[in-house]
Chains A and B, each alone.
Chain A
Amino acid sequence: MSQDHSLNPETMPQEPEKATLEGKNKFLGLWFFLGGETVLFASLFGTYLALRNSTAGGPASTDLFGLELVFVMTMLLLTSSLTSVYAMYQMKNNNFKKMQLWLGITALLGMAFLACEIYEFYHYIHEYEFTFRSSAFGSAFYTLVGFHGGHVVFGLSWLIALMVRNAKRGLNLYNAPKYYTFSLYWHFIDVVWVFIFTVVYLMGKVG
């Protein structure tokens, strides 16, 4: 393996994220990690399903959820997944500037999602006095949705650190896998949200 990891359009491999052994390992390692994350969220969903009607006389899901906000949040996060796909497309074109641009849009959409979620929690706590401690349903709701939100926060920090660090260095075989694994992680967060949207909000509205 040569010390020079920089890419130019003539010598760029087809899949820069998997061109080195380190890259291949990172790619596969992240997939395995997502396998573990799946069990983590499955356990949280199981807990939520067991406790979603345990309101202890407090507000129930039918009183709380408004699908308008949740629809906006879903659109924001799904779109951010799409923009991260564009970014990876630009990575394979070796167009670093456009990749950073699409990732920047991804980060903004992610932050907008997070702002909506914070507003949502604030709203539940102040309008309905529905808290983490008010009922088992409350604990399960905030834990499941909060774990997802925590993953979004971690993903955003990861993305911003990557973008800032590499802003002046450009794309090379050392950081291409780092970008690619981020995009995989971001898609996973998106998939989890689709399940939250269905299991928590849609099923919660039905009652």
Chain B
Amino acid sequence: MSIAAAQKKGFMAAVWDYLTTVDHKKIAKLYLFAGGFFFLLGGLEALFIRIQLISPENDFLTAGLYNEMITMHGTTMIFLAAMPLLLGLMNAIMPLQIGARDVAFPFLNSLGFWLFLFGGVLLNCSWFLGGAPDAGWTSYAPLSIQSPGHGVDFYIMGLQISGAGTLIGGINFLVTIVTMRAPGMTYMRMPLFTWTTFVTSVLILFAFPALTVGLFLLMFDRMFGAAFFDVTLGGNSVIWQHLFWIFGHPEVYILILPAFGIFSDIISTFSKKRLFGYTAMVFATILIAFLGFMVWAHHMFTVGLGPVANAIFAIATMAIAVPTGIKIFNWLATMWGGSITINSAMLWTLAFIPSFTIGGMTGVMLASAVADYQYHDTYFVVAHFHYVIVGGVVFGILAGLHYWWPKMFGRILNETLGKISFWLFFIGFHLTFFIQHFLGLMGMPRRYWVFLEDQGLDNGNLISTIGAFLMGIGGLIFVINIIYTSVKGEKASADPWDGRSLEWAIPSPPPFYNFKQTPLIRGLDPLWIEKTEGKGKITPAEPLGDIHMPDASILPFIMSFGFFVAGFGFIYQVDHSGWLAAIFIGIGIALICMLIRSLKDYHGFHIHKEDLEREAD
């Protein structure tokens, strides 16, 4: 394929290109746009929740619709917005940071994305097909077993399909980082974002199968008459809670660790300093991941596991504050004495530190099992996890988008709009959630459809709703910024931020083969080393030669579509056995795709040395 021909394309050719692409940078863009769409959807659901709670005994939403709204808000935000947005950033940046030309399994990378997208679409189809899931994002049995209609069935099949996609993505990143680092890029020279991608992938690998099993059990109970959670036949509904949280707690770290990586890279770049305590940061990340698997039962203090279990899980939970504290202090120490630039990326980062620390502090409060009996299922918990997930993850994603947008799209996001959206969102965020701590302490339970007048909850809820609208406007201005930038934005140079890591050594946006010659890495912050001690650019590790690239393929799309069809089959075969055909057709499509993939030779193609020489630098 000649490089010039690839630039002259019609619209349909571009669509086909994205449907079949195995290029990690294009898959990253797909993740970002799909994740961004679901983020807006989840945000809209959040606004509906807040409008319902704007005043006592409001009737904006019916009780049933409210349950659907809270369930879909949580599920969408966690599985379909935050994770894909992070996976998008990882896909775009991690291979560049280690000097790789693509990920280890480009085909699986594409499959992971399409499975996620079809899973997300399947889940949201429920809105138009008789009602969304309504048993909460945690879908506790036996409520989720009793829930009428097909809502929870859509939850099961949607998450099963998109979860498989995430697992595939995790394995792919792990192998990429182990085998495809450029010469000299030792583990302890990897940027923190690559490190957190690595550790997050380990968490995905070991956490998601627990959810897979939990969803299978729920599916068997609801669709095939099994008795896992049916007490009359000896079932035990606490099993769901264990499986869900064995997945669910590491999931929290799957979300926050990449954000930690983003902040570490940003703080170091904009303070013009090497990251303070790099080694401690790496080990704190690993320690958080390890402890993350030891604390799931702190979500279940009130279940009645007994004082010994509660005490052990309480102590393990409090212990997580130690490595997290190490990180906070290291970020502060990196900035200390640095030459700091304040721009949008840095504003989100600076705002993250106190916001996340508040969330961490309420986390330690909640870790105390005795006190948790008071906080459990109140708005205190809602406030806590929004402080860590919005104040940590969402701030991280937005900081990362501002920071890496020039690298991904070749244009710098508008600073003025960026700052306006930051201040609106930041003020709105604290207005929404700070007051919720007190609403919770005053006894307002979460997930309730209405609250009574004159219980001391009226003003707090009104303030919270006003804050939510500010966040909404802030988010909207960010979207406007993206549109404005793609039309009129300033073109980015290869290295607009005077960066330190490898991604800033190649053009913005990078050519599809990333590195013309594999780079040679001489230390941590390789580009900075070359700027201060070398020739100002990276030394290549190999002479210019042919580059081997993987083949594009439509199979991942068709395969995911097969599972999507089978998902409908599983959901509706309960009503009519004719739908069993959809299961066979769907799984059949997927298996045939696997067989084709297995039987056909995929040798890839080569970009020839002469073509590379003709390309201008």
Q: How far is A50 from B243 in the complex, measured between Cα atoms in Å?
A: 12
Do A3 and B603 touch across chains, with their CB atoms under 8 A apart? yes
Residues of B close to A43: CB separation below 8 A: 209-210, 212-214, 243, 246
B233 adjacent to chain A (CB < 8 Å): yes
Minimal beta-carbon separation of B554 from chain A (angstroms): 20
Residues of B close to A138: CB separation below 8 A: 227
B532 adjacent to chain A (CB < 8 Å): no
Do B179 and A21 touch across chains, with their CB atoms under 8 A apart? yes
Q: How far is A135 from B231 in the complex, measured between Cα atoms in Å?
A: 10
Do B243 and A140 touch across chains, with their CB atoms under 8 A apart? no
Q: How far is A54 from B227 in the complex, measured between Cα atoms in Å?
A: 10
- Select A39's contact among B174, B206, B225, B603, beta carbons within 8 Å: B206
Minimal beta-carbon separation of B378 from chain A (angstroms): 30
A136 adjacent to chain B (CB < 8 Å): yes
Residues of B close to A198: CB separation below 8 A: none
A40 adjacent to chain B (CB < 8 Å): yes
| CB 8 Å contact bits of A33-64 with B (1 = contact, 0 = none) | 10111011001101100110011100000000
Do B104 and A133 touch across chains, with their CB atoms under 8 A apart? no
B458 adjacent to chain A (CB < 8 Å): no
B599 adjacent to chain A (CB < 8 Å): yes
| CB 8 Å contact bits of A111-141 with B (1 = contact, 0 = none) | 0000000000000000000001111111110
A1-B548, A165-B598 given; A133·B226 CB < 8 A: yes
Looking at B234-242, B352-360, B391-399, B474-482, the stretch in contact with chain A turns out to be B234-242
A1-B548, A162-B598 given; A54·B234 CB < 8 A: yes
- Select B175's contact among A29, A40, A158, beta carbons within 8 Å: A29
A29-B171, A43-B243, A46-B242 given; A136·B235 CB < 8 A: yes
Do B243 and A143 touch across chains, with their CB atoms under 8 A apart? no
Minimal beta-carbon separation of B589 from chain A (angstroms): 16
Do B206 and A36 touch across chains, with their CB atoms under 8 A apart? yes
Minimal beta-carbon separation of B496 from chain A (angstroms): 33
Do A32 and B174 touch across chains, with their CB atoms under 8 A apart? yes
| CB 8 Å contact bits of B165-191 with A (1 = contact, 0 = none) | 001000110110011100000000000
Do A143 and B220 touch across chains, with their CB atoms under 8 A apart? yes
Residues of A close to B178: CB separation below 8 A: 28
Do A33 and B206 touch across chains, with their CB atoms under 8 A apart? no
B451 adjacent to chain A (CB < 8 Å): no
- Select B105's contact among A25, A161, A165, A178, beta carbons within 8 Å: A25
Minimal beta-carbon separation of A171 from chain B (angstroms): 14
A3-B603, A32-B175, A36-B209 given; A136·B242 CB < 8 A: no
A65 adjacent to chain B (CB < 8 Å): no
Q: How far is A55 from B595 in the complex, measured between Cα atoms in Å?
A: 41
Residues of A close to B221: CB separation below 8 A: 139
Do B243 and A47 touch across chains, with their CB atoms under 8 A apart? yes
Q: Which residue of B lies closest to A35 (CB)?
A: B205
A29-B171, A51-B236, A139-B227 given; A40·B205 CB < 8 A: no
Do B236 and A54 touch across chains, with their CB atoms under 8 A apart? yes
B window 590-604: CB within 8 A of A: 595, 598-599, 601, 603
B224 adjacent to chain A (CB < 8 Å): yes
Q: How far is A132 from B170 in the complex, measured between Cα atoms in Å?
A: 33
B230 adjacent to chain A (CB < 8 Å): yes
Q: How far is A138 from B227 in the complex, measured between Cα atoms in Å?
A: 8
B7 adjacent to chain A (CB < 8 Å): no
Minimal beta-carbon separation of A157 from chain B (angstroms): 8
A97 adjacent to chain B (CB < 8 Å): no
Do A55 and B548 touch across chains, with their CB atoms under 8 A apart? no
A36-B205, A47-B217 given; A136·B179 CB < 8 A: no
Q: How far is A97 from B242 in the complex, measured between Cα atoms in Å?
A: 49
Do A135 and B243 touch across chains, with their CB atoms under 8 A apart? no
- Select B213's contact among A25, A44, A133, A139, beta carbons within 8 Å: A44
- Select B232's contact among A21, A44, A56, beta carbons within 8 Å: A56
Q: Which residue of A lies closest to B174 (CB)?
A: A32
Residues of B close to A134: CB separation below 8 A: 227, 233
Q: How far is A108 from B208 in the complex, measured between Cα atoms in Å?
A: 33
Minimal beta-carbon separation of B371 from chain A (angstroms): 29
Do B601 and A143 touch across chains, with their CB atoms under 8 A apart? no
Do A51 and B599 touch across chains, with their CB atoms under 8 A apart? no
Residues of A close to B232: CB separation below 8 A: 56
A36-B209, A162-B598 given; A135·B175 CB < 8 A: no
Q: Which residue of B lies closest to A5 (CB)?
A: B603
Do A143 and B230 touch across chains, with their CB atoms under 8 A apart? no
A25-B105, A143-B220 given; A40·B213 CB < 8 A: yes
Taking each of B172, B210, B227, B242, which has the highest tally of chain A beta carbons within 10 Å of its own beta carbon?
Answer: B227
A174 adjacent to chain B (CB < 8 Å): yes
- Select A139's contact among B228, B548, B603, beta carbons within 8 Å: B228
Q: How far is A54 from B226 in the complex, measured between Cα atoms in Å?
A: 13
Q: How far is A28 from B171 in the complex, measured between Cα atoms in Å?
A: 9
A24-B179, A135-B233 given; A47·B210 CB < 8 A: no
Minimal beta-carbon separation of A162 from chain B (angstroms): 7
* Chain B interface residues toward A at CB < 8 A: 104-105, 167, 171-172, 174-175, 178-180, 205-210, 212-214, 216-217, 220-221, 224-228, 230, 232-236, 239, 242-243, 246, 548, 595, 598-599, 601, 603
12 contacts between A and B (CB under 8 A): A25-B104, A25-B105, A28-B175, A29-B104, A29-B105, A40-B213, A43-B209, A43-B210, A50-B239, A51-B234, A161-B595, A165-B598
Further pairs besides A1-B548, A51-B228, A138-B227: 8, Cβ < 8 Å: A28-B175, A28-B178, A32-B205, A39-B205, A47-B217, A133-B224, A136-B235, A139-B235
* Chain A interface residues toward B at CB < 8 A: 1, 3, 21, 24-25, 28-29, 32-33, 35-37, 39-40, 43-44, 46-47, 50-51, 54-56, 132-140, 143, 158, 161-162, 165, 174, 178
The 4 closest A-B pairs by CB, nearest first: A54-B234, A136-B234, A43-B213, A40-B209
